[in-house]
Chains A and B, each alone.
Chain A
Amino acid sequence: MEHALETTLTVNGQRVTRRIEPRQHLVDFLREELGLTGSHIGCEHGVCGACTIRVNGEIVRGCLMLAVQADGCTVETIEGLTDSKELAPLQKAFHERNALQCGFCTPGMLMAAQDLVRSKAKPTRDEIRAHISGNYCRCTGYQSIVDAIEETLNGQG
């Protein structure tokens, strides 16, 4: 840890300060140092989207950002957005439509979907598909996920 850098960030509303090795990915930091295991690791090269989290209001790949780069940042994860109830409408729609099977992609998928919900856009089904096309799901046929997002968007008026 001789090269560790003191890093302070706000995670799900809580300020945390840790000495962090420069090479540690943000998602590894969240999982290993903070025990926030809801963000999953599927590929570690930025393709699958399972580690999608929100940093300063934008969704990012937790495996493509170093933890030390988050110094001074606000980080939000599936745990935080669940507790704040921000994800509740999407979670309800995903549940009712079975828009998940194994659930490994689901936290990242919800983070990506919520990005669309927050944009207040009125996307078409194809645009919803395009928005989540960086999030890999091997179990569902994506259709129920698109249905659930569409329903949530329609429900928000």
Chain B
Amino acid sequence: MGKAELPLHAPGTKIDRGYIGESVPRPNAQRLLQGRGAFTDDLRFPRLAHVAFFRSPYAHARIKRLDFAAASRAPGIIAVLDGRAVAQYCTPWVAVLAHLKGIKSPPQHAIAIERACWQGEAVAAVVAESRSQAEDAVGLIEADWEELPVVVDMDEALSGKRVIHPDLGDNICFKRELDTGGVDEIFASADVVVEETFHFGRHTGVCLEGRAILADYNAGEHSLTVYHATQAPHMMQDIFSRHLGIPEANVRVICKDVGGSFGIKVHVYPDEMATAAISVMLRRPVKFLADRLESFLSDIHAREHKAKVRLACTKEGEILAFDLDDVTAIGPYSVYPRTSGIEGNQVVNLTGGPYKHQKYRAKMNVVFTNKNVTCQYRAVGHPIAVALTEGIVDLAAQKLGMDPAEFRRRNLIPDDAYPYTTFPSGIKFEKLSHHQTLNKLLQVMQYEKLRAEQARLRKEKIYRGIGLAAMIEVTNPSPAFYGVGGARISAQDGATLRLEPTGMVTVLCSVTEQGQGTEGIFAQIAASAVGVSMDKVKVITGDTSVTPYGGGTWASRGAGIGGEAVLQAGRALRSNVLDIAAAMLNMDKAELDIAGNAVIHKLTMQNKLELAELGRVAYFRPDTLPMNFQSELTVTRHYTPRQYGFTFTNGIQASLVEVDPETGFVRLLKHWCVEDSGTVINPMLVDEQLRGGVIQGIGAALYEECLYDAEGQLLNGNMADYLVPMASEMPDIICAHVETPTLQSQLGAKGVGEAGTAGAPGAVMNAINDALLPLNARVTAMPFTPERILKALKKVD
């Protein structure tokens, strides 16, 4: 069956799929369009205190003395606190996971004690009646520092000449080696061997809404309510409970509207933990918002990899082996609780992903440096693995004189080879569609025509390039991702559906809305599964006291896991509704279905009973139902993906660029993305997810980099100097789909949130190098700024 267990209702009727696959506008977008959203900073509380942080101006320094005298006397000041004071209310953490063997990191406090390890680390907190008063007083704190040696370069960190945390012995947070054996022999005898070293700049998420938290401790009941811009409310509930010493059930995390997250808002931030601790200490609500300058200094950064990769192939173009050596620098701490070892680990898992070679060797080191911390940001590891794989694949094709699309076709895992269990890194693929996506891409982009146009324009000294990037992607992760390593991060999610007396359906789900459209697609799924129209569905997410327990939004899991829980709960609710209908109508349940907000006769499609009437009877006149009959109009279902560690998806992207060899500027002309995310619930939302992801990937490829000097000072930590993609530079992006539903769930949906970001940097890089080919130039260090392109062209030094 094409769609796993779909159809939802009687086959052949108009209602068999309901809203699944329809481009329905998101109901919850209306309030945002009217400026009536409720972001954390929009909330108003009596006795609210505001916190601002005094942050280290040095990348590495001992705190010799902090003098709060002047700050404490400033207008509106409630408290000025150092690390030791906050530590009385918040225990430190160590970000390691048992399944990342050997990973190590020092204990980290909410506010640094004795020593700051990156520029921007909070070393004191000022609490005041207003944010501006708190910021004024931050400027009055006097500090004496003893500067310590700074390690900013990853090779220097790896060498261990200067060790940032002496107790750990060296600067290596985590290392991993993988070897199928036989790699050296293959490289020694292969017809063709290519090698390249790729550099990936350190960049960050730049959510338009900065990190935001409002913690409200109630001493009367020893309870803490936290309004938090987060992706994982239950994870944070557990963290606040354990580190602040408050029983889990007394901690409520409420996630209202969130202004972008992309992985930035799924981590534990010291300044946010301090804010919650201060609320407990002061017994009043306390708010912290990271302003833009603080965001650049303290939101997690990501990437910063240097990866040497080799590829061996036959002269016929068969890839035989990949050999990888990756180093990544993560700042001074592994980030809690997901650790900063995951991105490098993913690069090892995913390199060579789309291809059928059988030999692979990888070495990967994660090192500490005195820069801001890095951790999981959208597409974790994928942009690195895809770009280095696709970059070296293009180089091999070039050396063979083979068209890059044809070279890929010869090496992609065949579409009939699934389940595929012999991928050399050990990951397993349930069902992918590389050849279908490649064929569709070439057709949609009119590849041959573009190549002809490119050749014609080259004669006119117009340098256009076409770049391809095939990819595999982790989605719907099982507990193998975090849970097995001891992290209290849920891989399962739950949904509760309740039929209200008027026939409306309320959905409560543990997956959160970050703007991606979670609540919209849950409404589509619930309406379809029950048989009501979407205007009858109300979706509630983001409240640990209200929804079932679950993981939240990360790793492209919301639709596939949360959506499945909603579907199963919806089907169960429909069944329960039909039990009542059968009792009321004195008919056989098998004869009945629900459509258009009413119970209908399955064969005649005749309307038998409005759900509003059924609800009225079930709730207010149950005395009219049979004596032993109890209606159940609230049902809860949970779902955990178990059969595979990850539900891999696949896709392929292409970029068309024009490079101006005089200025080094790259103009993006068009971008294509063909994606197989299984069952597509809402094509419009999926396409815009893909496009947004592509744009973030383009940012990494062309503009975005957190630049540090040799002293560990961030040089461009503001929006004027750190460039992000804006509308005028971005191309139109053409999306197309292949649908291979996962058979692990009834819904069949795989994830899509990270696909665009995973593939775009590699596609853009290959397009630029394709454009530069006739000029004998090549770039391998992202972002590809005009300066780097001109250097490659030897036009500047």
A143 and B30: CB pair below 8 A?
Answer: no
> Judging by beta carbons under 8 Å apart, are A138 and B35 in contact?
no
Q: Is the CB of B688 within 8 A of A141?
A: yes
- B32-45 contact mask (Cβ, 8 Å, vs A): 1 or 0: 11111101011010
On A, residues with C-beta under 8 Å from B are 23, 31, 35-45, 47-48, 50, 77-79, 82, 91, 94-98, 100-107, 110, 125-126, 128-130, 132-146
CB-CB under 8 A for A138 and B29, given A79-B35, A101-B515, A129-B730: no
- Write the B463-480 contact mask toward A (1 if CB under 8 angstroms, else 0): 000000000000000000
Which of the segments B150-158, B202-210, B316-324, B440-448 contacts the partner chain? B202-210
In the complex, whether B25 has a CB less than 8 A from a CB of chain A is: yes
Q: How far is the CB of B256 from chain A (nearest CB, A)?
A: 12
> Does any Cβ of A come within 8 Å of B188's Cβ?
no
User: Is A47 a contact partner of B720 (Cβ separation < 8 A)?
Assistant: yes
- Interface flags for B708-726 (1: CB within 8 Å of A; 0: not) read 0000000000111000111
Give me 29 A-to-B residue pairs in the complex whose CB atoms sit less than 8 angstroms apart, sorted by A's number. Answer: A31-B41, A38-B34, A41-B41, A42-B209, A42-B259, A45-B292, A48-B292, A78-B34, A82-B35, A91-B34, A95-B30, A95-B33, A97-B684, A98-B517, A101-B516, A102-B208, A102-B258, A102-B259, A103-B29, A103-B257, A104-B257, A106-B35, A126-B728, A129-B730, A138-B205, A138-B207, A138-B208, A140-B692, A141-B688
Cα of A150 to Cα of B732 in the assembled complex, Å: 14
A47 to B39, CA, bound (A): 20
B730 and A98 form a contact (CB under 8 A): no
Minimum CB–CB distance for B720 against chain A, Å: 5
A63 to chain B, nearest CB (A): 10
Out of B207, B689, B732, which one reaches A143, CB within 8 Å?
B732
**Considering only CB atoms, which chain B residue lies closest to A37 in the complex?**
B42
A37-B42, A101-B515, A133-B726 known; A47+B692 contact, CB < 8 A: no
Number of A-B contacts (CB under 8 A): 172
- B87 contacts partner chain A, Cβ-Cβ < 8 Å: no
CB-CB under 8 A from A36, the residues of chain B are 35
8 further contact pairs, Cβ within 8 A, besides A40-B39, A91-B33? A45-B718, A78-B34, A101-B516, A102-B257, A129-B728, A130-B728, A136-B726, A141-B694
Decide if the interface of chain B is mainly helix, strand, loop or mixed.
loop
A69 to B671, CA, bound (A): 45
Of chain B, the residue at the smallest CB distance from A127 is: B728
Q: Are A102 and B727 in contact (CB under 8 A)?
A: no
Q: From the candidates B42, B688, B724, B732, name the one contacting A136 in the complex (CB within 8 A).
A: B724
Confirm or deny: B291 has a beta carbon within 8 angstroms of a beta carbon on chain A: yes
Whether B730 contacts A138 by the Cβ 8 Å rule is no
Q: Report B265 CB to chain A, min CB distance, Å.
A: 11
Do residues B727 and A145 form an inter-chain contact, with CB atoms below 8 A?
yes
Contacts of B527 in A (CB 8 A): none
Q: A101-B515, A101-B517 are in contact. Are A40 and B718 (CB under 8 A)?
A: no
* B688–A140 CB distance below 8 A: yes
Residue of A nearest to B264 (CB): A138
Q: Which residues of A contact B42 (CB under 8 A)?
A: 31, 37
> Beyond A40-B209, A106-B32, A133-B726, is A139–B515 a contact (Cβ under 8 Å)?
yes
B334 within 8 A of A: no
Chain B residues whose CB sits within 8 angstroms of the CB of A128 once the complex forms: 727
Chain A residues with CB under 8 Å of B35's CB are: 36-39, 77-79, 82, 106-107
User: Any chain A CB within 8 A of the CB of B262?
Assistant: yes
Cα distance A77–B685 in the bound complex, in angstroms: 28
| Neighbouring A residues of B259 by C-beta, 8 Å | 40, 42, 102-104
Residue B199, interface by CB 8 Å: no
- Known contacts A130-B728, A133-B726, A143-B733; A100 and B33 CB within 8 A of each other: yes
The distance from the CB of A146 to the nearest CB of chain B, in whole angstroms, is 7
B695 at the interface (CB under 8 A from A): yes
How far in angstroms is the closest Cβ of chain B from A43? 4
Across the interface, which residues of A come within 8 angstroms of B727, CB to CB?
128-130, 132-133, 135, 137, 142, 145-146
Cβ of B696 under 8 Å from chain A: yes
In the complex where A40-B39, A45-B718, A138-B207 touch, is A103 in contact with B691 (Cβ < 8 A)? no
Contact mask for chain B residues 1-42; partner A; CB cutoff 8 A; 1 contact, 0 none: 000000000000000000000000110011011111101011
B516 cross-chain contacts in A, Cβ below 8 A: 101, 139
Contact A48 B684 (CB under 8 A): no
Q: Which of B44, B685, B724 contacts A98 (CB 8 A)?
A: B685
Please encode chain B, from 182 to 203, with 1 for each CB lying within 8 Å of some chain A CB and 0 for all others: 0000000000000000000000
A94 engages B685 (CB within 8 Å): no
Contact A42 B728 (CB under 8 A): no
Q: Are B208 and A94 in contact (CB under 8 A)?
A: no
Q: How far is the CB of B758 from chain A (nearest CB, A)?
A: 15
Contact of B515 among A41, A45, A82, A103 (CB under 8 A): A103
Q: How far apart are B569's CB and chain A's nearest CB, in angstroms?
A: 25
Q: Contact between B696 and A48 (Cβ–Cβ < 8 Å)?
A: no
Among residues of A, the one whose C-beta sits closest to the C-beta of B513 is A102
